[in-house]
Structure 1
Amino acid sequence: MTQHDRPGGPPGKAKPVVTDKEARRIAFAAFVGTALEWYDYFLFGTAAAIVFNRLYFTALDPTAATLAAFATFGVGFVARPVGAVVFGWVGDRIGRRPALLITVVMIGVATGLIGVLPDFTAIGIAAPVLLALLRLLQGIAVGGEWGGAVTLAVEHAPPERRSRYAVLPQIGSPVGTLMSSGAFALVLLLPADSFDSWGWRLPFLAAFPLLIIAVYIRRRVEESPLFDELVKQDERAKVPALDVFRQAWGRLVVAIAAAFLGVGGFYIMTTFMISYGAGTLDVSRSVMVNATLVAAAVQIVVLILVGRLADRLGPGRVTLWGGLATAVCAFPIFWLVDTRSTLLIILAVTAGVGVLSIAYAVTGALLTELFPARLRYSGVALAYNIAGALSGFLPFAATALLETSGGRSWSAALLLIGVALVTAVGGFYGERLRVKDEVATA
């Protein structure tokens, strides 16, 4: 990369001074907004496993209905790169803050509308079509959310402590999981008829009041000081996504690989695992959902610890170790779930989510350091959401592999190992690029 393209502020100018107090405040605001958005997004994953397959695809046999529900779930991931391009342009041209305000409104409205959407018995084929459309809008919004939140947190952070502040938006993911899984755990206490008729809708309808909170929080976030400098120096890219593909395509590939496990592995361990446990092993749905609750709580601790560790070891090296550790643990995790023991299932899901969170904890720090400030929002968003698009159909793929292998879990374990090794390679090359940039700018 040239001096003009290296990560950091505009060339030839002193980097804006930021304090720990300001960094903590902005990172916390990014975390709260991200948690609310992930709550909205994760609701769909849980509902796809235990609700949509029965209420919106009732004309299909059970396996086909589950596959159709997961395919609709995957639509949101396919839409995410579109959101990355659109909101990457907004974030790199107009500002990080306006992009984050628009995304939170979009996903809040789309999620709330799912809560009032009639099912297949009421409006027929229009029900799954509208469901897919709302999922598409969710995906577009989330495509611009995470990259902006991480970029804003990192650009307000002191360089030597970027990993610990970049991890705060990451914590929004397990908190969103806790909120969404907790909401479903509560409504699953209702009688089955009540749950199917109206109970499952309540977590989605909660998106409307949460939207008010999210907008209030996002309006209080200041613009990135690095972006303000880019505006003053007229250093903004005209078509940021195009420049990412033309000038930083190698880094984009590395970033996609590094992010793959944090997204894809998570959905194998949660969305697919809930379906596998409840559908194939006949384990109570409540047990599977509660396992994700425990896992999300443990994940928060892992993210905080690894985020601090990465400031000393480097995010790329941590990503490599996290990918290798997940690959080693894949088979034991599924063997424990296969016991059908409630305690061992909770232990397995918690261990699986915890070990893959080693790589996920530093995804934000690694990706933001791979791209220059003028392309950062677009580069980070594209990498994370292309990884998301590839990951979105992993529950579908795992279900199909499970069917092919006669319901035996080794096929899903192999899929998790493949995802983990891709991320290990991404972490290896990401750290090499990061160190190369540090030497070049020293």
Structure 2
Amino acid sequence: MLKPAERLARDGFTVDPTFRQQTADNQARFKDFPATAKLFLPGGEPPAVGSTFRNPDLARTYALLAEKGVGAIYKGELGRDIVDTVRKPPVDPKAQRVVRAGDLTAEDLRSYATKRQAPTRTDYRGLDVYGMAPSSSGGTSVAEALNILEKTDLSKLSDVDYLHRYIEASRIAFADRGRWVGDPAAEDVPTKGLTSQRFADSRACLIKDDAVLKSPVPPGDPNNPAGPGSCDTRGHAAPTTYEGENTTHLTVADKWGNVVAYTLTIEQTGGSGITVPGRGFLLNNELTDFSFAPADPAVHDPNLPGPGKRPRSSMSPTIVLDGHKPVLALGSPGGATIITTVLQTLLNHLDRGMPLVDAIAAPRASQRNAAQTELEPGLWNGPERAKLEALGHSFKQNPEIGAATGVQRLSGGRWLAAAETERRGGGSAMVVSPKR
């Protein structure tokens, strides 16, 4: 399993403009950590476009994992090196940066366990849409927004009316995300309520054809949704806290029809900036996914840090089944914009009839219960913006939102693979054995 990754780390890959730019963006941090500077800043500068980037330390790490398994991390030498690096960060003596030692222990690694949870599920247009359960907010938020839109025939709307509905559904879903979603081991997260059609109906009635909701929108109560004909606005509004726009997503299908949607992250591009010496990988700064202070002291924030608590993420790996067969899977990086990227791609494909490649490439909007909705240039410069502004929408530009990948089942057991054509330098999509 690890042989291809080991070979790539050993033999290297050709540096493209995106990799160089991401490294340059982190140059000030990277230079303060000798192991990181040695790896990413050869000669003190980011690697040149067209050069070959090799990571022999990482190749040896992969070989160790192949030989000894994950026990090398949680109970072995790799884990010891991680703990040593956290507790005594290897900082350049000349660095002016203040780098505090961490408190990670070997016991923390030994006691860590993956949580096996049932995915979120909702029915949309007769399809089963599965997502990631809390502490990720992706599954609940995508499901709630889909349920809000379930009773609107988006296929018959104009582009402007479609975007209006999509933006407002996103706004509402993020209002409920901020109040209710956190680590279920520490918070009472009403996953079933958030993904129920009854709750969505009590929120969908907030959307008007000729007006725009004012953010921050108050959350509803999925434990006790308003009855038929009533709109749920009983919560106290709080703005959405900031979340970075990085992460990585992979989507894979095999010839037997098995599908994996896999989102992984070290949080910020470059993570903490600290490379474990001799091991070839960066440590994450994932704790920044916590809300370190409530956006509004009057509103309970389920994502405040605590001992042993897992931070809320926006990961939204999504698999769509028709009956018991997967027909579509997708996901994206992008911090909190992951949720809107996945949602908009699903709507583009399932409701607007776009081929998956076009649904991914289409210009994006991202509304996260904020005063302004972010627009990519394709919408910012398009005719839709003025018409949406006339309704009351307010916008700001974002050059790139998300970077999705997806797979789609075709007739005859074939699969289509799709990725970005331009965002983040372009993604990678391929069918390895088309005849299978």
Instruction: Tell me the TM-score normalized by structure 1.
Output: 0.30
Higher RCO structure, 1 or 2 (CA under 8 Å, sep 6+): 1
Compare the two structures and name the one with the higher helix fraction: 1
Instruction: Tell me the TM-score normalized by structure 2.
Output: 0.31
Between structure 1 and structure 2, the one with the greater Rg is 2
Compare the two structures and name the one with the higher strand fraction: 2
